[in-house]
Structure 1
Amino acid sequence: MDSSRRALARGLFGGLALLAAVGLAAETARAETRVTYKSAKSTSSYYQMGVQIAEAVARATGGEIVVSGEESQGSVQNVKEAAKRGGSYVFTTPPGLVKLAAGGKAMFEGDDTAPYQEIRGLFPIPFLTMHLVVREDAGIDGWDDLAGKTLLIGKGSFGASEGAKYLGLFGLEGKVELADAELNSAVPALQNGQIDGFVTAGSHPAPNVMEAAAGTGIKLLSMSDEQIALTGRDKLVIPAGTYDGVETDVATTTLPVAAYATAAMAEETAYQLTKGFWEAKAEMAETAPWWDAITPDLLAVLGAELHPGAARYYKEAGIELPAS
């Protein structure tokens, strides 16, 4: 073969290779759907749940859906961003906030509520559990002992607003010094003696509470049935031994949480997300026991219409859907 023919052959081969590479890249781009999962601060159990869900969905879909976790400042922010994030956005929040947003009430007063009407449910996740963590040597055995102490409740999150509410309900408003800091600084501040305690809301066992217990002696404050009734929340008991050094049951409050998308999400994407979650739930529970409590019965707490893709999976799986 003369040099001109060899050059032509090389050119044709190179062109075909380039076309093949471009075609493969285009096919990969078509097959891969990217989703943002916005949950909570990186120190919380809910962020860890998001990591688990991302890995589970990637395995279940053969990499066709790529879920990227995004840190959040709290559930209110998650809901507000649903109005502008489009069809690739998944977020977690208590169902009560979805209802408030749809009605333009409380922290959503003055917002355009039309985008909030487009929020759609996917699946429940482990419920929020309120923790009030105090240093063992702070002389705090009950809520009344918090008077004159320094407490960190954080900012902008459900735990922060709930903690402030409880201080008011239990006659402690103005009697407790609130540290002006974010929740992610709570553990080192507790260990360094800068604060006497902190409030956090996360599924138990909560990573930041485990970290605090590992680094210093802690107590968890329990609530009486009367106090729990005042909060209007459901009662939950954290079993003794859940955290190092906490050898008694702790009565506290809990609140449902779920994962949501919007009507802008493609039906197939919502279907695959929901299917991947439920098919991986048992495996996730092997390393994180909080998943054991999640069952299809909890779909009734979502407080929003199911996404058609999620509803399609539940029907295929023979899961009876709540009338709502």
Structure 2
Amino acid sequence: MKFVKSLAVAGLVLAVSATAASAETRVTYKSAKSSSSYYQMGVQIAEAMKAGSDGAVIVTVEESQGSVQNVMEVMGRKGNYVFTTPPALVGLAQGGKAMFEGKGNPRFDEIRALFPIPSLTMHFVMRADAGVSSFADLEGKTILLGKGSFGAKEGEKYLDLFGLKDKVTLADVELSNAVPALKNGQIDGFVTAGSYPAPNVIEAAAGTGVTVLSLSDDQIAQTKRARLVIPAGTYAGQDSDIVTTSLPVVAYTTTDMDDDTAYQLTKTFWEQKAKMGKDAAWWNGVDEDLMANIAGKIHPGAVKFYKEKGFALTDAQM
């Protein structure tokens, strides 16, 4: 009898364990290189999802070589695959254009947005004593753009757009050495793109004193990028808002994800965002206004949450 009773108890434990396992939702989150701030964001989101769902949602963060890879993997990924990318790349993939030319796939049409994450924000950082308060003042200055990154390519584009391409000296220094080069007078300024507040800008502002340039409305229009305001006080010595540009970044999934899971992920993200912002200030730049940057459709489960909270959505997003 004791043996039979023991079997019954063991069976009950297994049944409870199986029920708990089946109730657990597992999600794969594809972000960026492990050394990047966006990978750190992925880790923070994973922790927030676990905490906010009382362990019901478990997110595994995977390293990625970049946004294009994240989109391309949609072709072979099934289930609860979440990835980050600028909305523009989703549009290119769905249209088979640029880096996706000849690589079109019906799966790209199944991509759906969940929520925005911190944008890649352009910073034109000048040493405070360089006498630069506008882009016109850059003439004759030595600027570090870096190599190969979004910020470097974007910075070069802006210099060309604003008639400064041949009027500044480009320093042959790695972006990782920007702050020391600024401090020792080797350069007058550097260009960087990342979620704000950017660590290298914080360091430069605290140690050297800097001016981060603002763009005019006309200049922003020329760049064809989204307008973004970095609030006064974000960096040491910053007494007024900085008006700059950004490349929006969004967390996406596909129609493989069921509505309940998409709803839970979206709801938990927004509920945990303030807590994440206390640990990492870049989350404080994410708000309802960034929803306007989402081009294309939002997952129906996420739409349900946004409607409940009164978020403004466009017809194209639904």
- Say yes or no: does 1:123 pair with 2:120: no
Structure 2 partner of 1:4: none
Structure 2 partner of 1:278: 270
Q: Quick check: 1:152–1:195 contact (8 Å CA) kept in 2?
A: no
**Separation in 2 of the partners of 1:219 and 1:71?**
34
3-state SS in 2 of match to 1:246: coil
Residue from 56, 72, 75 that aligns with 2:67 = 75
How do 1:232-251 residues align onto structure 2 when only pairs under 5 Å count? 232-251=224-243
Letter in 2 for 1:213: A
Q: Quick check: 1:74–1:156 contact (8 Å CA) kept in 2?
A: no
How big is the shift at 1:131?
0.9
**Separation in 2 of the partners of 1:74 and 1:154?**
16
Structure 1 partner of 2:251: 259
Q: Quick check: 1:76–1:156 contact (8 Å CA) kept in 2?
A: no
- Say yes or no: does 1:304 pair with 2:312: no
Q: Quick check: 1:125–1:291 contact (8 Å CA) kept in 2?
A: no
Q: Quick check: 2:112–2:255 contact (8 Å CA) kept in 1?
A: yes
Does 42-51 or 235-244 show the bigger shift? 42-51
| Cα distance change of structure 1 residues 197 and 273 upon mapping to structure 2, 3 Å threshold | same
Q: Quick check: 2:119–2:194 contact (8 Å CA) kept in 1?
A: yes
How big is the shift at 1:105?
1.7
Structure 1 runs not aligned, ≥5 long: 1-7
How big is the shift at 1:273?
0.3
How big is the shift at 1:178?
6.1
Q: How many residues align?
A: 313
Does 135-144 or 74-83 show the bigger shift? 135-144
3-state SS in 1 of match to 2:270: helix
How big is the shift at 1:163?
2.3
| Cα distance change of structure 1 residues 263 and 161 upon mapping to structure 2, 3 Å threshold | farther
**Separation in 1 of the partners of 2:228 and 2:156?**
19
Structure 1 partner of 2:104: 112
Does 314-323 or 254-263 show the bigger shift? 314-323
Identity %: 57
| Cα distance change of structure 1 residues 318 and 240 upon mapping to structure 2, 3 Å threshold | closer
How big is the shift at 1:192?
7.2
Does 271-280 or 163-172 show the bigger shift? 163-172
Does 228-237 or 56-65 show the bigger shift? 228-237
How big is the shift at 1:167?
2.8
| Cα distance change of structure 1 residues 154 and 270 upon mapping to structure 2, 3 Å threshold | farther
Structure 1 partner of 2:94: 102
Letter in 2 for 1:100: L
- Say yes or no: does 1:151 pair with 2:148: no
How do 1:109-188 residues align onto structure 2 when only pairs under 5 Å count? 109-136=101-128, 142-143=134-135, 145=138, 149-157=142-150, 159-173=151-165, 176-177=169-170, 179=172, 181=174
**Separation in 2 of the partners of 1:247 and 1:317?**
34
Structure 2 runs not aligned, ≥5 long: none
Letter in 2 for 1:312: K
Structure 2 partner of 1:5: none
| Cα distance change of structure 1 residues 249 and 312 upon mapping to structure 2, 3 Å threshold | closer
Structure with greater Cα Rg = 1
**Separation in 1 of the partners of 2:79 and 2:183?**
42
Q: Quick check: 1:150–1:195 contact (8 Å CA) kept in 2?
A: yes
How big is the shift at 1:220?
1.6
**Separation in 1 of the partners of 2:240 and 2:114?**
36
Letter in 2 for 1:103: G
Q: Quick check: 1:51–1:69 contact (8 Å CA) kept in 2?
A: yes
- Say yes or no: does 1:54 pair with 2:37: no
Structure 1 partner of 2:57: 65
How big is the shift at 1:132?
1.9
Residue from 193, 217, 221 that aligns with 1:201 = 193
The TM-score, its normalising length taken from structure 1, stands at 0.76
The TM-score, its normalising length taken from structure 2, stands at 0.77
3-state SS in 1 of match to 2:112: strand
How big is the shift at 1:117?
1.2
How big is the shift at 1:35?
1.8
3-state SS in 2 of match to 1:37: strand
**Separation in 1 of the partners of 2:172 and 2:296?**
36
Letter in 2 for 1:90: V
Q: Quick check: 2:144–2:173 contact (8 Å CA) kept in 1?
A: no
Q: Quick check: 1:41–1:72 contact (8 Å CA) kept in 2?
A: yes
How big is the shift at 1:269?
1.9
What's the CA shift string for 1:262-284, capped at 9, x where partnerless?
Answer: 12223332121012123334444
